[in-house]
Structure 1
Amino acid sequence: MNTQDAKRVLETALICASQPLTLREMRSLFADELGADSVRNLLDELTRDWEGKGVELVALASGWRFQSRPELREYLDRLHPEKPPRYSRAVLETLAIIAYRQPVTRGDIEDIRGVVVASQIIKQLEDRGWIEAIGHRETPGRPALYATTKAFLDDLGLASLEQLPALDVGSEPPAFEALQGQLLDAPEEALADQPAAAEVPAESVAEPVADEAPVQPIPTQSLLGEDGTPPIPDPDPNDPPPQPQPESA
């Protein structure tokens, strides 16, 4: 098969695929007769072929796909004028903390937000496929460690966590608003209606375990500045301040 025919096969497969295609899947189109480098060269050629058009070929966390260019989103939205519901402040703050500080436990998130993270919020993000438990911290109670998934990056149109919006302490917009904007720019089918999760009263916040190991931030990405101040917004005025519980005997 010559290069032009191979490129046409690859282009057709990418256009018809319902999900991003991995390099392994694309090689299977040619019964592995083409090496990984050859497939990458074809992808580079296709990327150049589609420059200046309304659709672009992009590399995401889980593979390659064709998608509409962001600057054309406002026109495409006219086909479906109903906007997907916005995610609640609590959900977006929780997602932002996990995205920039992963892996984290619920206790870590509660320490930053100042309120208890409702189980419904975690379940909503897990059901959406944006976060998952990747292990447990070896401390009393062995709390689950949460991290974002490839589906989260795919829905944001990103290939890696390093492409998340950069955070500067005290800068605007804060992390959760930046993510909200990107999530609303995702295809509507990726933003299915999700019920809002209610906050748990802050009186139930327990003191963090004294010997709990600190969470290491992703390189160059952190929700905390050097002074320990999180650049996410202060909690809602309706959120009561956290009240530590007395230590149990």
Structure 2
Amino acid sequence: MDPQRAKNILEAALLCSVEPIAVKELMRLFDDAIDASVVTTLLEDLRRDWTHKGLELVQVKTGWRFQTREDVKRYLEQMNPEKPPKYSRATMETLAIIAYKQPVTRGDIESIRGVTVSTQVMKALEDRGWIESIGHRDAPGRPALWATTPQFLADLNLASLSDLPALDDEKDQQLADELQKVIPFDLDDSETAENDENQQAQSN
């Protein structure tokens, strides 16, 4: 098949998809007549074709997708303003610990934070599609092990966990601050105080 024709097909498929598409799935467009290396080369060419446009083609953990470039996103937000979601400090610290320390149990998280992890916090992150249970630790009670999901990486435009902001040191209180660099959110301080007070009361 003519390379330009193949790129047009890939472009149409990606523009019409609301989710990233893996190379393996894109190969099905051509009845697997084009192998993965060729599809990847075509995608890289297509990425360059869109270099100076309002959309960009990016590769994330779950595949390839088109997305709005950061330098034009603020103009679109003026047409349909959306406030970034508010997360409590407790939620962000929990997510950060899972992201940087995974796999971890709730007990690990509580040991690091020094307070009880509420079920609501874990459920909110699980419902968001950012964390999941990947097994159980071989320990009394067989506590669940938690890790981040491919959706977490896709939502943050990260190809892998190695793309998370590097830590200057191993101080646990730095985790949430570093994660904030790649997650747009408003910190709800009132909710934080209330949650932490409740958690401390539960742990006493």
Above 0.5 in TM-score? yes
Q: Note the alpha carbon deviations across 1:71-94, whole angstroms, 9 max, x for none.
A: 222222212223133211100000
Give CA deviations for 1:57-76 in whole Å, capped at 9, x if unaligned.
Answer: 11101000011112222222
Moved more, 49-58 or 159-168: 49-58
In the other structure, the counterpart of 1:32 is 32
What does residue 93 of structure 1 align with?
93
1:151 equivalenced with 2:165 (yes/no): no
Pick aligned residue for 2:199 from 194, 198, 201: 201
Q: Distance in 2 between matches of 1:59 and 1:106?
A: 32
- The two structures have a TM-score, normalised by structure 2, of 0.88
Report the CA distance between 1:182 and its aligned residue: 2.6
Pairs within 5 Å for 1:1-249:
1-169=1-169, 174-184=174-184, 198-199=195-196, 200-205=198-203
What does the per-residue CA deviation read over 1:159-202, in whole Å, with 9 as the maximum and x for residues that have no partner? Answer: 1000001111289x9332343343228xxxxxxxxx98944432
Letter in 2 for 1:87: Y
Answer with 1 or 2: which has the greater Rg.
Answer: 1
- Take 1:73 and 1:170, find their aligned partners in 2: how far apart are those partners? 34
Give the letter aligned to residue 119 of structure 2. Answer: S
Range that drifts further, 114-123 or 78-87: 78-87
Larger helix percent = 2
Deviation at 1:25? 1.1
Q: Is the 8 A contact 2:167 2:178 kept in 1?
A: no
Gaps of 5+ in 2: 186-190
Aligned residues: 196
2:117 and 2:199 in contact (8 A); partners too: no
Task: Name the % identity.
Answer: 53
Give the match for residue 188 of structure 2: none
For the aligned residue pairs, the C-alpha RMSD in angstroms reads: 2.2
Which aligned runs of 4 or more in structure 1 are off by greater than 4 angstroms?
none
| Secondary structure class of the residue paired with 2:180 | helix
Helix, strand or coil at the partner of 1:134: strand
Aligned partner letter, 2:165: P
For structure 1, the 5+ residue unaligned runs are 186-194, 206-242, 244-249
- 1:152 counterpart letter in structure 2: F
Contact 1:27/1:39, CA 8 A, preserved across alignment: yes
CA gap 1:110/1:164 in 2 versus in 1, 3 angstroms: same
**TM-score, scaled to structure 1:** 0.73
AA partner of residue 168 (structure 2): D
**Matched-pair contact (CA < 8 Å) for 1:120–1:198:** no
Structure-2 separation of matches of 1:88 and 1:72: 29
> Contact 1:87 / 1:180 at 8 angstroms: preserved in 2?
no
Decide whether aligned partners of structure 1 residues 33 and 51 sit closer, same or farther in structure 2, where only a CA change above 3 A counts.
same
Q: Secondary structure at the match of 1:29?
A: helix
In 2, the alpha carbon distance for the partners of 1:170 and 1:154 equals 26
